[in-house]
Structure 1
Amino acid sequence: MRVGPRHAHVLGSGGVLRTINGGHGRRLTAHRAPARNSWRTSTTIGAYLGRCRSNFGEPTHARPLDRRHRPPPGHRPGPPAEPRRASTPAPAPRPAQGGGDVFETPAPGKPPRFEGLTDKALIQALHDAAAKHKDLGYNQARKIIFTELDNHEGKVKCVYTGRELRTDKIPNASDMNTEHTWPQSKGATGAAKSDLHHLFPTDSKANSQRSSYPFGEVQKVKWSSPSGAKLGTDAEGRTVFEPPPEHKGNVARAMFYFSTVYGKAIPAAEEAALKKWNVQDQVDAAELTRNGAIEKYQGNRNPFVDDATLAQRIADF
């Protein structure tokens, strides 16, 4: 056999190590070691043969010549094991938004809030969840509105006309005052008088125009503001007040809240307009932020802000 200039080594019988040098046939004989060191000789020769095999392109990871490590007949090696990868920890659950209370908006796939409840049963459940709160007192409520809750960068904006007033205290009532979305003359007394969920800053003249008229859609205008607020009569000839488009949904949800918490009925015609506005002017980030801020002051939230669809499950407030 001709293998070129390299040396090949084979182990003959009797422990003879033969060296073939490129076909010259030279032979070297290694004497066997004493029996007590035979395991060293076997291991050394096996390692030496492994290095020799690498010269011929054969694998070099063969074990030393040891019968104990030979695979059984018919054994087929399996695929090489994949390297172990460091396990990636599962991401921590994200905190819920909206304060983490019972009115938190459910995630997709979760059952709707107050599942299965409608009409009077739903009203009762909402009342039980939202009615308990701190009575701030009217003076404290107004102070919060004009200096913190609705004061943004030193200015307070009228929700009916859009007029802004720079202030850091409760302003003169002839300039800007506090609108009771549910009028005092119709039941906003006691703790309800200072409930922030239906109180908003308003221009005094616009507030006077609203008076205690019900909300509705004006057909014949008697008074109006460039913002879109109107006073006039509806299709049935009733005198109604219509807030500007960007505040219609806020008014509707404040009215639903008041009716639910304080047990006051909303007239059918007014309720129809409010439900329409609740859909048209949906909850925005500012309204959600205000809802959360009020919770810090008086300890409860408006559930109709957290989930405006609740109103659709109540046929008659």
Structure 2
Amino acid sequence: MKNTYLLVLTILFFQFSFAQVVINELDSDTPGTDTQEFIELKSDTPNFSLDGLVLVLFNGSTSGGDSSYFTLDLDGYTTDANGIFLIGGPEVSPVPDFLLFENTIQNGADAVAIYLGNDVDFPEGTEATTTNLLDALIHDTDDPDDTGLMTLLGLMEQINEDENNNKTTESIQRKNDGTYEVKTPTPGALNDGSGVQFNGILITTSQDQYDEGDSIDIVFTTETSVTSDLTFDFILTNQGFTTSDYSGSVSVTIPTGTNTTTNTIQIIDDTDDEGDEVMKIVFGTIPSGFVRLNDNKEVRIVDNDFTVASWGTPLNPTFGNVVNTAPVNYYDPLEGLADTALVQAIQDIVADPATVRTHSYADIVEILSSADQSPENSNQVWLLYTEQNRAKLDFAGFTDASDSWNREHTYPRSRGEFGDYREFDDIADGMSGFFTTNADSLRHANSDAHGLRATDSNENSSRGNKHYGEYNGPTANQGSWKGDVARGIFFLVIRYNALQVVNGFPEDTDNTISELGDLTTLLDWHRNDPPDDFEMNRNNIIYTWQFNRNPFIDQPNLVEYIWGNNVGQTWSNTLSVDENEKSEISIYPNPANDHIIVFAKGKQGEFEVFDTLGNKLLSSQPFQETTRVDLNLSSGLYMMRINYNNTSVVKRIVIK
């Protein structure tokens, strides 16, 4: 009996101690940004352990069903000397104890709640409940009361964060009597201004971008002068940016009686093309009595060792510098065919389930970083439509910058009825991770690199799902992208049975889904903007991933036999050199080790060697009757283009 009584007392004490933790402040809506929203918890006891508690956010919308959409297990966390624990976005200052992704907190009518329990007790979609509930706040931004959510959480009021109607950033704050008021946010501090006043430390640099070889002054400033020497360390390494990329001290001392000091870091100017990188300035452990006003400050380091390709951008196109890496007999099955038989033969090649691979939508970022790499700078991509370069680091998923790039579906997803498939598309598992596919696998059009291009994020949004001809690109564009788009669309409608290209601009109805216009426009674009080296290079790169090629880049005249002036005629692949002449030039041994012999039967000229991505490795070397060529190449497949008498022959070399 005595043991039972003690157990009851222990449980009551345990629950009473947790009941001291409340939701002290909430900022769910910050106009113009989603990076400064936060939730602040408060314990009556300073430095209080939050073990055994879980924070749960509930969606009060009709689609949300008053159910959980985010949980945070609080095990291992502790409130500070004022009893505060701050949870917030990446730009909240001082820096939160737990960082949220931007736009995590919905702005109502929704709820924030603290429970006894763990995150596993509230899987996504769990309906709100009063079971084990310690505290809850239902909030909105000028929304009607969610009476259902109020009933589920046992609350009598819903707080409007916009009740002052002044369209500035304000937060909901708990007063000492347990009621709420809406006023200017006070993250990381007691709402009434009392308690321990921490001295904030700020990291600043004069620029957010530097070149290799530059020196960077990193300034550390406290809000008030320090009463004794303040010493702490900081970290600069971040992914590929390592200690070998800079020199200088990462130990900081702000002397007594001052509030600032500067550390100068020298960026090493090496000779390696590592690509542009991000240096991240991160506080180490700072002494008690201080808080970080910012942290994880990112500074871009621009690599000056970028490479320039031997071919031009689509705006200044070149032709014939990039070798077509299609296998010798890749298009042989098309010979002598016409009409539907020709279409079917193309599809049999580009949608062959025994050969062709599909990758995830997440993998497309890596694929496009190579396939759409700018010929002018290997650390940038070339943007469709806006016809300009952009840093690879400025991908929309990696940066908050408005001038970012994104993955554009040239065949709009809404018209093709293909979209994201989370179990398939969210994971980037590289070239070795793939799925088999076929002509009826429409969902794989979502991540088919032949139909995706790097584009300016804003222009991507402006383009929407308009038909081509309705959409003609941004003002003053020179149309260098138009043929590329046309050939991408032509590929997709052959590759996937459900997609169609039609004349005109069909209106959006159930009967016109999967129809894209305008065929006449796309044919004109194809004819007026023929495939160039940039397009051939991306075709080569995509082939290494998907094991299929866009035949309308390799054999542009095919377009006429399917949609244009030669419909109904028999296709024949016209060779630039007849087979007898080709046989007069041979290379041996092949496979080779460190050299080959070019045997030309009395001919002379020049040859070039390329890798399978079309990069020129050896240029303009002369040959005569019999010429030995010493090679310093890794094992793999290479192409040799032999030029003579205004003729070109491509031979494939295998290095053992």
Q: Give the superposition deviation at 1:141.
A: 1.3
Pick from 254, 268, 277: which aligns with 2:503?
268
- For 1:308 and 1:186, the matched residues in 2 are separated by 25
The aligned amino acid for 1:216 is G
- For 2:395 and 2:458, the matched residues in 1 are separated by 17
The 8 Å contact of residues 386 and 474 in structure 2, kept in 1 or not, is answered as: no
**TM-score, normalising length from structure 2?**
0.28
1:55 maps to what in 2?
none
Pick from 185, 202, 215: which aligns with 2:455?
202
- For 2:359 and 2:474, the matched residues in 1 are separated by 33
| Aligned 1:1-317 pairs, distance under 5 A | 97-103=324-330, 114-132=334-352, 133-146=356-369, 148-152=370-374, 153-168=378-393, 170-172=395-397, 175-187=404-416, 188-189=418-419, 190-216=443-469, 224-228=474-478, 245-263=479-497, 264-269=499-504, 270-315=518-563
The 8 Å contact of residues 359 and 546 in structure 2, kept in 1 or not, is answered as: yes
Alignment CA distance shift 1:169-1:298 (3 Å): farther
Q: Give the superposition deviation at 1:314.
A: 1.2
- For 1:249 and 1:102, the matched residues in 2 are separated by 26
The 8 Å contact of residues 396 and 457 in structure 2, kept in 1 or not, is answered as: no
The aligned amino acid for 1:198 is G
SS across alignment from 2:501? coil
Q: Give the superposition deviation at 1:212.
A: 0.7
- For 1:168 and 1:312, the matched residues in 2 are separated by 39
Higher helix share: 1
- Runs of 5+ consecutive residues of structure 1 not aligned to the other structure: 1-95, 105-111, 229-244
- For 1:214 and 1:116, the matched residues in 2 are separated by 34
Alignment CA distance shift 1:151-1:289 (3 Å): closer
- Runs of 5+ consecutive residues of structure 2 not aligned to the other structure: 1-322, 420-442, 505-517, 568-656
- For 2:477 and 2:396, the matched residues in 1 are separated by 22
Q: Give the superposition deviation at 1:282.
A: 0.6
The aligned amino acid for 2:340 is K
Please list the CA deviations of residues 124-165 of structure 1 after superposition, one character each: whole Å capped at 9, or x if unmatched. 11000111321110001122213x222342011211112322
SS across alignment from 2:462? helix
The 8 Å contact of residues 493 and 500 in structure 2, kept in 1 or not, is answered as: yes
The 8 Å contact of residues 394 and 405 in structure 2, kept in 1 or not, is answered as: no
Alignment CA distance shift 1:103-1:282 (3 Å): farther
Q: Identity of aligned pairs, percent?
A: 31
- For 1:115 and 1:134, the matched residues in 2 are separated by 25
Alignment CA distance shift 1:157-1:297 (3 Å): same
- For 1:271 and 1:205, the matched residues in 2 are separated by 26
Q: Give the superposition deviation at 1:311.
A: 1.0
The aligned amino acid for 2:367 is I
What is the count of residue pairs matched by the alignment?
A: 195
The aligned amino acid for 2:384 is V
- For 1:209 and 1:267, the matched residues in 2 are separated by 23
The 8 Å contact of residues 103 and 307 in structure 1, kept in 2 or not, is answered as: no
Q: Give the superposition deviation at 1:101.
A: 4.4
Structure of larger gyration radius: 1
- For 1:97 and 1:287, the matched residues in 2 are separated by 10
Please list the CA deviations of residues 252-287 of structure 1 after superposition, one character each: whole Å capped at 9, or x if unmatched. 110010000002111123111111111111111111
The aligned amino acid for 2:451 is H
The 8 Å contact of residues 324 and 536 in structure 2, kept in 1 or not, is answered as: no
The aligned amino acid for 1:141 is I
**TM-score, normalising length from structure 1?**
0.56
Please list the CA deviations of residues 228-256 of structure 1 after superposition, one character each: whole Å capped at 9, or x if unmatched. 4xxxxxxxxxxxxxxxx211111111001
Aligned Cα root-mean-square deviation (Å): 2.6
- For 1:121 and 1:285, the matched residues in 2 are separated by 30
SS across alignment from 1:178? strand
The 8 Å contact of residues 119 and 315 in structure 1, kept in 2 or not, is answered as: no
Q: Give the superposition deviation at 1:168.
A: 4.0
Q: Give the superposition deviation at 1:186.
A: 1.7
The aligned amino acid for 2:551 is P
Higher strand share: 2
